[in-house]
């Protein structure tokens, strides 16, 4: 090279595949005068992301979930997948592991069982990068077309003496799919009359209730699984009593949460002196934000009683109030029509989630006095009539009063396909009895 002459040249540096993540130096030495120049480049850590586009499937189809490594080095992963229906019945749960190259996309997923029930489902995927120990999550709602059936169950008459037989007529109309090795469960309940209908949500749905405002979710769940998004701890919450409870709001993500409430409402005739229920608040928020409350009004809309609270404490760690009972004296309103509204949700800002569980608390609990499971197969679009006889003296001895019949149809996986409406009938001794009912509930 001549004086003041410049020359530019390039050199391709092949980075070995085994190069670890981090900063790496490149040292250039010029032999003429031993001049040294130092440069560097960075190989980013592995980074996993999850995604899924399609949200509508048929039973039996494969649900594919994209796992992509957008980082700079290869890694190993461990993923857990959970897929459950709107009642939190888990139809698929498994873990998968493997290796994924830098820049690679892999499909992880599962096949929806052939006998999955028609309805809304919830997917929770959690993948751990074994190189960085970081966890990525995906939660998504799906609509599945699967088993669907109409179900009714009634008795041959409304009133019986204690020495008679009860004939139960159940009709199953298959609306989609083939029910194979299913089960028809029939139950007869007796118990303390509730001030509220279905106060413990033991029908498995909102029978007797209406949803008011639904900002996120108002529905019935069984045992609920909560993942603490800060610690990864899995919390299992059981209903306060029975098998089911209601939930107002979603359990994730930690942030954001929409402003506005989720509401449960029931209008009822006062038949008992006390109205009782239980609630349990979960929150990531702190004092002064978000809320839980209830109110009772009369037919004219006048407020009888109310309660409201915001959340408590400081910091954004997950907190729970634990189950707390509410006992409201409504004896001054016996025979009148009142409305109960229970609500909870976000206020003021969209930061940090709060949700609430509601359940019965001792009043209106039902005792099962008779139960039978019947094997069921119903072909596509077929209708099956099932007649069941209950001999009162031998199968329900010493039972009198108002009883409730409930039919539940299960798939072969024990997932609920449908439940009938509660049907009431009466058993009396051989004294004269009078039963009065209105034509509309």
Q: Is the pLDDT score of 67 beyond 60?
A: yes
Same domain flag for 356 and 303: yes
Distance between CA atoms of 160 and 388, rounded to whole angstroms? Answer: 16
Greater model confidence, 141 or 164: 164
Question: Among 301, 328, 360, where does a domain finish?
Answer: 360
Report the chain's terminal Cα–Cα distance, integer Å.
102
Share of the chain above pLDDT 70, in %: 93
Cis check: omega of the bond before 315, within 30 degrees of 0: no
Tokens linked to 338: 């009142």
Classify residue 9: in a domain, yes or no: no
Residues 408, 323 within the same domain:
no
Is 240 in the same domain as 335? yes
CATH of the domain at 174: 2.60.40.10
Domain co-membership, 399 together with 317: no
* Closest to 58 (Cα-Cα) out of 112, 107, 139, 121: 112
Burial 199-212 (b: 16+ CB within 10 A, else e): bbbbbbbbebbeee
The reported pLDDT for the residue numbered 90 is: 86
Residue 78 and residue 168 in one domain? no
Q: Which residues contact 326 (CB under 8 A, 6 or more apart)?
A: 275, 276, 277, 278, 279, 294, 307, 361
Q: Is residue 112, in this structure, part of any structural domain at all?
A: yes
Same domain, 141 and 153: no
pLDDT digit string (tens) for 9-40?
A: 777 777 777 788 888 888 888 766 677 888 87
Antiparallel, parallel or unpaired: β 105-111 and 274-283? unpaired
Task: State whether 376 and 353 are in the same domain.
Answer: no
Residues 6+ apart with CB under 8 A from 300: none
Range of the domain at 63: 48-145
Q: How many structural domains does the chain have?
A: 3
**How high is the mean pLDDT of the chain?**
88
If one compares 190 and 437, the residue with the highest pLDDT of the two is 190
The predicted pLDDT at position 406 comes to 87
Sole residue written with tokens 């020495």: 163
Q: Characterize 391-429 residue by residue with b for buried, 16 or more Cβ atoms within 10 angstroms of its Cβ, and e for exposed.
A: ebeebbeeebeebbbbbbbbbbbebbbbbbebbebbbee
* Last residue within a domain, chosen from 360, 381, 411: 360
pLDDT of residue 291: 86
Say whether both 216 and 128 belong to one domain.
Answer: no
Are 221 and 88 in contact by the 8 Å Cβ rule? The answer is yes
CB 380 within 8 A of CB 174: yes
Q: Does 1 map to a domain?
A: no
Residue 68's φ and ψ, nearest 5 degrees, are -125, 135
d(CA 285, CA 223): 23
pLDDT at 52: 94
Q: How much is the average pLDDT of 36-55?
A: 89
194 band by pLDDT with thresholds 50, 70 and 90: low
Per-residue pLDDT reduced to its tens digit, 263-299: 999 988 887 778 889 999 999 988 888 889 999 999 8
Mean pLDDT, residues 130-157 taken together: 94
Rounded CA gap, 46 and 67, in Å?
12
Average pLDDT, integer, range 339-367? 82
Higher pLDDT, 327 or 196: 327
Given this model, what pLDDT does residue 106 score?
Answer: 96
Q: How confident is the model at residue 363 (pLDDT cuts 50, 70, 90)?
A: very low
154 pLDDT more than 70: yes
Percent helix / strand / coil, the chain, rounded to 5: 0, 55, 40
77 and 154 share a domain?
no
Q: How far apart are CA 250 and CA 257, in angstroms?
A: 9
202 inside domain = no
81-118: buried (b, 16+ CB within 10 Å) or exposed (e) per residue? bbbbbbbbbebbeeeeeeebebeeebebbbebbbbbbb
3-state secondary structure of 267: strand
Tell me what pLDDT residue 26 has: 81
Whether residue 287 is found in the same domain as residue 370: no
Sign for the CA dihedral angle at 49, 54, 55, 59 comes to: negative
| 225 and 311 co-located in one domain | yes
Residue % of the chain over a pLDDT of 90:
54
pLDDT higher than 90, residue 361: no
Q: What is the C-alpha to C-alpha distance for residues 153 and 407, in angstroms, rounded to an integer?
A: 6
The alpha helices in 90-234, defined as continuous H runs, are none
**Given the structure tokens 């480049």, which residue do they identify?**
41
DSSP-derived secondary structure letter, 392: H
Query: Averaged over 337-356, what is the pLDDT?
Result: 88
Asked if 381 and 186 touch (Cβ cutoff 8 Å), the reply is: no
For residue 156, being part of any structural domain is answered with: yes
Task: Tell which residue, 319, 339, 331, 395, has the closest CA to residue 162.
Answer: 395
CATH code, 299:
2.60.120
Q: pLDDT value at position 417?
A: 93
pLDDT, one tens digit per residue, over 384-435 is 999 999 999 999 998 998 898 989 999 999 998 998 888 889 999 876 555 6
In a domain, 4, yes or no: no
What sign for the dihedral angle of Cα 249, 359, 152, 170? positive
Pick 441 or 146 by higher pLDDT: 146
Same domain assignment for residues 269 and 385? no
pLDDT at 218: 93
Separation between Cα atoms, residue 412 and residue 263, nearest integer Å: 34
Q: Does the pTM of the predicted model rise above 0.75?
A: no
Residue 382: inside a domain, yes or no?
A: yes
Whether 34 maps to a domain, the answer reads no
């Amino acid at each position: 090279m001549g004086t003041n002459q410049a020359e530019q040249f390039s050199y391709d540096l092949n980075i070995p595949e085994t190069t670890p993540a981090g900063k790496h130096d490149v040292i250039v030495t010029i032999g003429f005068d031993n001049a040294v120049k130092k440069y560097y480049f960075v190989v980013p850590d592995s980074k996993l992301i999850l995604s899924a586009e399609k949200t509508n499937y048929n039973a039996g189809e494969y649900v594919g979930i994209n796992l992509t490594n957008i980082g700079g080095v290869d890694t190993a992963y461990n993923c857990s997948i959970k897929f459950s229906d709107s009642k939190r019945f888990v139809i698929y749960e498994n873990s998968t592991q493997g290796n994924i190259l830098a820049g690679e996309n892999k499909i992880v997923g599962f096949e929806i069982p052939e006998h999955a029930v028609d309805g809304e489902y919830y997917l929770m995927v959690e993948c751990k990068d074994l190189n960085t120990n970081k966890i990525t999550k995906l939660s998504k709602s799906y609509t599945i077309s699967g088993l669907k059936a109409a179900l009714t169950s009634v008795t041959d008459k409304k009133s019986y003496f204690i020495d008679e037989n009860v004939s139960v007529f159940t009709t199953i109309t298959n609306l989609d799919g083939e029910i194979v090795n299913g089960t028809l469960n029939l139950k007869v309940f007796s118990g303390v009359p509730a001030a509220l209908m279905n106060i413990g949500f033991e029908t498995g749905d909102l029978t007797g209730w209406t949803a008011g405002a639904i900002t996120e979710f108002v529905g019935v769940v069984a045992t609920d699984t909560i993942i603490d998004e800060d610690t990864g701890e899995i919390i299992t919450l059981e209903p306060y009593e029975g098998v089911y409870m209601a939930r107002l709001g979603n359990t994730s993500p930690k942030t954001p949460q929409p402003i506005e409430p989720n509401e449960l409402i029931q209008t009822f005739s006062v038949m008992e002196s006390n109205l009782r229920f239980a609630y349990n608040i979960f929150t990531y928020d702190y004092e002064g934000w978000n809320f839980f409350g209830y109110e009772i009004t009369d037919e004219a809309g006048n407020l009888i009683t109310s309660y409201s609270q915001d959340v408590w404490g400081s910091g954004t760690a997950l907190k729970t109030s634990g189950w707390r009972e509410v006992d409201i004296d409504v004896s001054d309103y016996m025979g009148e029509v009142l409305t109960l509204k229970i609500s909870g949700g976000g206020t003021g800002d969209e930061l940090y989630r709060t949700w609430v569980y509601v359940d019965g608390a001792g009043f209106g609990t039902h005792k099962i006095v008779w139960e039978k499971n019947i094997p069921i197969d119903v072909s596509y679009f077929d209708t099956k009539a099932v007649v069941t006889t209950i001999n009162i003296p031998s199968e329900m001895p010493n039972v009198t009063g108002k009883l409730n019949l409930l039919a539940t149809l299960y798939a072969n996986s024990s997932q609920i396909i449908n439940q009938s409406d509660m049907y009431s009938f009466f058993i009396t001794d051989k004294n004269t009895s009078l039963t009065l009912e209105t034509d509309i509930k």
